[in-house]
Structure 1
Amino acid sequence: MSSLRAKIQDVFNEPACEQNRGKDAKARKEGCSKPLTPGAAAGGCAFDGAKIVLQPITDVAHLIHAPLACEGNSWDNRGAASSGPTLWRTSFTTDLTELDVVMGQGERKLFKAIREIKEAYGPPAIFVYPTCVTALIGDDIEAVCRRAAEKFGLPVVPVNSPGFVGSKNLGNKLAGEALLEHVIGTVEPDDAGPYDINILGEFNLSGEFWLVKPLLDRLGIRVRACIPGDARYLDIACAHRARAAMMVCSTALINLARKMEQRWDIPFFEGSFYGITDTSEALRQITQLLVKKGADPEILGRTEALIAEEEAIAWKKLAAYRPRLEGKRVLLNTGGVKSWSVVHALMEIGIEIVGTSVKKSTVEDKERIKQILKDDNHMFEQMAPRELYAMLSEHKADIMLSGGRTQFIALKAKTPWLDINQERQHPYAGYDGMVELVRQIDLAIHNPIWRQVREPAPWDCQPAVREELPRTKSEIATLHAVQEFAGTTADDLGEC
C-alpha cells in the first residue's frame, strides 16, 4: 500500500501539466481531482479508469481479483475495436466470496486463476486488477504476480488501482505507470527503424484509428504501438524504440508520454485526428518530429502532397452538406480533447457552436477553445440537466452532441441528438471520419421525425366550436360539461 501511495503522489505531481507547474509544491501533491464522495460513482473509480486504458490491449487476459460485481460493472465500457485477437472480450474474475475473505483464501484463489488462464488460453501476458475489497483485506497482489510469472513463464502484470484511491482519470494514469514499470522496454525489437512512432491515448473507438493508419502507411510511417487502441502486448513491450510519439488524450496518459521521453528520448506532441485541418496538422507534426530524429527530410514533401490530395477529396464531399448545415447551431456536452477538436472541425463547414463543455478538459484544451471561438463565453464547466433542458427546449441549439447519459434530456426537449462519446457507432477520425460526422449530423437534424414530434398531439387539439351549433339547453349543458372535464373554456377551443 505504501508503494501505491507513492505512485499516486507521483502522478499528482505531474511536471508535464502546465496547470500543475503553476502550483506550489504542496498544491501539486493534492492533485486536480476532486475527492470522491463515499457511495458516489463520481464518473467512475480508479479501477474503472485503469480497465478503460488497458482492456483494449487485445491479446492479453484481463483478470479481475474481486467479487463478481466488479467485473460485471466494468466490462465492455468502451467501444474499442480489434483487428485480430478477441481474448480481451472474455471476462476473467476470481469471483471472491464472503467465505474467501473470511478464510483468507484470496491470494490462493488468484494464483489458481492465473494457472487456469495460462493452461486454457496461453496468452502472451495476464493483467491482474485488484479492487476495493482485495486491497482493503491486504492481498499482496504484486507478490502473487511475481510468483506466478516465475512459475508459469509468462508476464503477470499487477495493475494496482483499487477504486477507492481516486477518480477514473487517476486510474488512467496508474495504468500508464503499470505499463512503464512492467511492460514497456521488456522486449528488444529486431526491426526498429527511423519511421517508427507511438500513438498514445488513442482508443480506436468504433475502429476510427483504422481511418488514420492507412494515411501513415502511405507515408511509410509505422505505428510501433498504439496505446491502447487495438494494441498487442509485444508491440507495447517494444514501444521504447519508437522515434516519436503523438499524444491524443493528454488527460489520460500525459505521464506515460513524459516518462517515455525522459527514459528513451521519444519526443511527443499533443494533436487531434478530428477535423480536416487538425488531421493535416497532426500528420505534419509527426513527420517533423521524425525528421528531427534522423528521418529523411523528403518525407515532408510527400506529406504535403498527401495532405493536399486528401483535403481536396474531403472538401469536395463536404460541399454537398454545407448549404444544409451552414448556420446550424450545435451544443457540445462532452469534454477532453473533443471539447476543442470537434469544435474546430464543425466550424470549418460553417456550423455555429453555441456551447462546449470543458468538464474533463485540461488548461491547454481550454486555451485552444478560446483561440478557436475567440472568447470563453461559450465554455461551461458543468450544466445542470434542468439548465440543459431549458436551453434545448428554447431552441437555442439545433442539435446536441454528447454521451449517452444526456441523450434523454435532448429527446425530452424534442431536439436532435448525436452520440459522440465512447458508445458511438460511427468512426469520426481522419478525413473520412470528418465526412461521416457531418453526414450523421445532417441525418439527425433533417430527420422528419422531429417535425412530427413537435406538432401538438391530437388530444391537445379541439375542433372549432361555432356558436350556432348548440341549439338546445341539453346540448349547451353537455358542451359545458366537456369543457369543464377537459379544463378548457369556450375561448380556448379552436382549430389546431
Structure 2
Amino acid sequence: MSSLNAKIQDVFDEPGCDKNRSKEAKVRKKGCSKPLTPGAAAGGCAFDGAKIVLQPITDVAHLIHAPLACEGNSWDNRGAASSGPSLWRTSFTTDLTELDVVMGQGERKLFKAIREIKDAYAPPAIFVYSTCVTALIGDDIEAVCKRAAEKFGLPVVPVNAPGFVGSKNLGNKLAGEALLDHVIGTVEPDDIGPYDINILGEFNLSGEFWLVKPLLDRLGIRVRACIPGDARYLDIASAHRAKATMMVCSTALINLARKMEERWDIPFFEGSLYGITDSSEALRQIAELLVKKGASPELLGRTEALIAEEEAIAWQKLQAYRPRLEGKRVLLNTGGVKSWSVVHALMEVGIEIVGTSVKKSTVEDKERIKQILKDENHMFESMAPRELYAMLCEHKADIMLSGGRTQFIALKAKMPWLDINQERHRPYAGYDGMVELVRQIDLAIHNPIWSQVREPAPWERAANETMRAEAGAAAEIATVHGFKKFAGATVDDFGEC
C-alpha cells in the first residue's frame, strides 16, 4: 500500500494539469480534480476509471481480482470498437468468495487464474486489476504478477487502482502510470520512421478513430499507438519511439503525455477531432511537430492541400443542412473536451448554443469556451435535472445533446435529444463525422414524432369531446330554464369536471 500511496500522490501533484498548475505548492498536493464529498456519488470509482482506459487494448486479457460483482458492474461500459482481436470482450475475474478472503486464498487463486488464461487463450499480455476487497485484505498483486511473468514467459501487468482510492479520473491516470511502469518502452521496434505519432485519450467510440486514420494515412503519417482506442499490446510497448503525440482528452492521460515527453523527448499538444476547423488545426499541429522532429518540410504543404480538399467536400455537404438548422438552439450537457470542441463544431453551421456544461473541463477548456461563446453566462458547472427540464419545457432550446443518463429529461419534456457521450452508436469525429453529427441533429429536430407526442392522447381527446358535449348540454338546459349567464358556455368554463 505504501507504493500505491506514493503513486497516488505523484499523480495528484501533476504539473501538466492546467487547473493544478495555478495553485500554490501546498494546495497542489491535493490534486487537480474536484475533491469528493463524503456520502455523495462519485460518478465512478478509480477501478472503473482504470478499466475504461485499458480495456480497449483489444488483444490483452483483462483479469479482475475481485468478487464477481466488481467485474459485472464495469464490464464493457464504453462503446469502443476493435478492427481485429476480440479477447478484450471476454470477461475474466477471480470471483473471490467469503471463504477465499477468510482463508487467505486470494493470491493463490489469482496465480491459478493467470495460468488458466495463458493456457486457454495465449494472449500477448495479461492485465491484472486490483479492487477494493483485494487491496483491503492485502493481496500483493505486483508480486503475483512478477512471479507469473517469470513462470509463464509473458507480460503480466499489475494495475493498482482499487476503487476506494479516489474518483474515476484518478483511475484514468493510474492506468497511465501502469502503462509507463510496465508496458511502454519494453519493446524496441525495427521500423522506426520520422512520421510516427501517438494519439492519447482517443477511445475509438463507435469507430470514430477510423474516420481520422485514413487522413493520416494519406499524409504518410503512421499512428504507432492509439491509446487506448483499437490498440494492440505491442504497439503500446513500442510507443516510446514515436516522434510526436496528440492528446485528445487531457483530463484522463495528461500524466502519460508529460512523462513520455520527459523520458523520451516526445512533444505533445492537445487538440480536438470534432468539427471542421478543429480537425484541420489538429492535422496542422501534427505536421508541424513532425517537421520540428526531423520530418521533411514538404509535409506541411501536403497537409494544407489535404485540408483544403476535405474542407471543401465537408462544407458542400453541410450546405444542405444550414437552411434547416440556422438559428436552432442547442443545450449541451456534457463535459471535458466535448464542452468546447462540440460547441465550436456546431457554431460553424449556424447553430446557437444556449448552454454548455463545463463539468470535468480543465481551466484551458473553459478559456476556449469563453473565446468561442463570448459570454460566460452560457457556461454552467452543473445543472439540476429540474433546471434542465424547465429550460426545455420553456422552449429555450430546440434540442439537448447529452449522455444517456439525462435523455429522459428531454423525453419527459417532449423535446428532441441526441446522445453525444461514450454510449453513442454513431461516430462524430473528423470531417465525415461532423457531417454525420449535423445530419443526426437535423433528423432529431425535424422528426415528426415530436409534433405527434405533443398532441393530446386519444383518451384525452375523447374525454375533452365528452366534456364539450356535457358543457353544450348544460348550456342548452340553462338557456331553456332562463339562466342566460350559462348560455354559450364552453368546456373551459366548466373546468375539468
What is the TM-score of this pair, normalised by structure 2? Answer: 0.94
Amino acid at match of 1:139: D
Which residue matches 1:115? 115
State the partner residue of 1:149: 149
One-letter amino acid of the structure 1 residue matched with residue 294 of structure 2: G
Unmatched segments (≥5 aa) in structure 1: 477-487
Q: Verify the 8 A CA contact 2:14 2:32 in the aligned structure 1.
A: no
Amino acid at match of 2:357: S
CA–CA distance in structure 1, aligned partners of residues 48 and 492 of structure 2: 57
- How high is the sequence identity, in percent, across the aligned residues? 88
Q: What's the CA shift for 1:206?
A: 0.2
TM-superposed CA distance for 1:34, in Å, is: 3.9
Distance in 2, matches of 1:436 and 1:305, equals 23
Write the distance in 1 (CA, Å) between the matches of 2:319 and 2:362: 33
Amino acid at match of 2:329: R
Kept in 1: contact 2:335–2:357 (CA 8 A): yes
Q: Once the 2 structures are TM-superposed, how far is the Cα of residue 453 of structure 1 from its aligned partner? A: 1.1
Q: Distance in 2 between matches of 1:303 and 1:52?
A: 33
What is aligned with 1:484? none
Q: Aligned pair in 2 of structure 1 residues 205, 467: CA closer, same or farther (>3 Å)?
A: closer
Matches within 5 A, 1:352-367: 352-367=352-367
Once residues 12 and 331 of structure 1 are traced to their aligned partners in structure 2, the CA distance between those partners, rounded to angstroms, is: 32
Measure, in 2, the Cα distance between the counterparts of 1:38 and 1:468: 63
Match of 1:337 in 2: 337
Shift of 1:26: 1.2
Show structure 2 runs of 5+ residues with no match: 482-490
Report how far residue 470 of structure 1 moved. Answer: 6.5
1:274 deviation in Å?
A: 0.1
Does 2:395 correspond to 1:405?
Answer: no
Q: Distance in 2 between matches of 1:81 and 1:416?
A: 27
Provide the aligned C-alpha RMSD in A.
1.7
Q: Give the conservation status (yes or no) of the 8 Å contact 2:330–2:401.
A: yes
1:244-274 CA-partner distances (Å, limit 9, x unpaired):
0000000000000000000000000000000
Q: Which moved more, 1:33-42 or 1:338-347?
A: 33-42
2:368 corresponds to: 368
Cα distance in 2, alignment partners of residues 472 and 378 from structure 1: 57
Deviation at 1:22, TM superposition (A): 1.4
- Which residue of the partner structure matches residue 97 of structure 1? 97
TM-fit CA distance, 1:19: 2.1
Between the aligned partners of 1:131 and 1:244, the Cα distance in structure 2 is: 34
Partner of 2:47: 47
Amino acid at match of 1:52: I
- In structure 1, the residue matched to 2:377 is 377
Corresponding residue of 2:73: 73
1:17: how far off? 1.6
Deviation at 1:374, TM superposition (A): 1.0
CA positional deviation for 1:490 = 4.0
- SS of residue in 1 equivalent to 2:456: coil
* Residue in structure 2 matched with residue 439 of structure 1 by the alignment: 439
User: Structure 1 stretch 463-472 or stretch 209-218: which is displaced more?
Assistant: 463-472
Q: Which amino acid counterpart does residue 455 of structure 1 have in structure 2?
A: E
Using the size of structure 1 for normalisation, the TM-score is 0.95
**Map of 1:209-224 to 2, 5 A cutoff?**
209-224=209-224
Matches within 5 A, 1:246-257: 246-257=246-257
**Secondary structure of the residue that 2:253 maps to in structure 1?**
helix
Q: Is the 8 A contact 2:19 2:32 kept in 1?
A: no
Output the CA distance in 2 between the equivalents of 1:341 and 1:395: 25
- 1:431 & 1:305 partners in 2: Cα distance? 15
Deviations 1:426-456 (A, max 9, x none): 0000000000000000000000000111123
Residues 448-493 of structure 1, C-alpha deviations (whole Å, 9 max, x = no match): 00011112334444234575677669x99xxxxxxxxxxx764448
Report the alpha carbon displacement of residue 84 of structure 1 after superposing the two structures with TM.
0.2
Cα distance in 1 for partners of 2:452, 2:428 equals 29
After superposition, the C-alpha distances for 1:327-354 in whole angstroms (9 at most, x for unaligned) are 0000000000000000000000000000
Is 1:175 the equivalent of 2:168?
Answer: no
1:41 shift after superposition: 4.0
* Paired letter, 2:164: F
* C-alpha distance after superposition, 1:300-322 (max 9, x if no partner): 11101100100010000000000
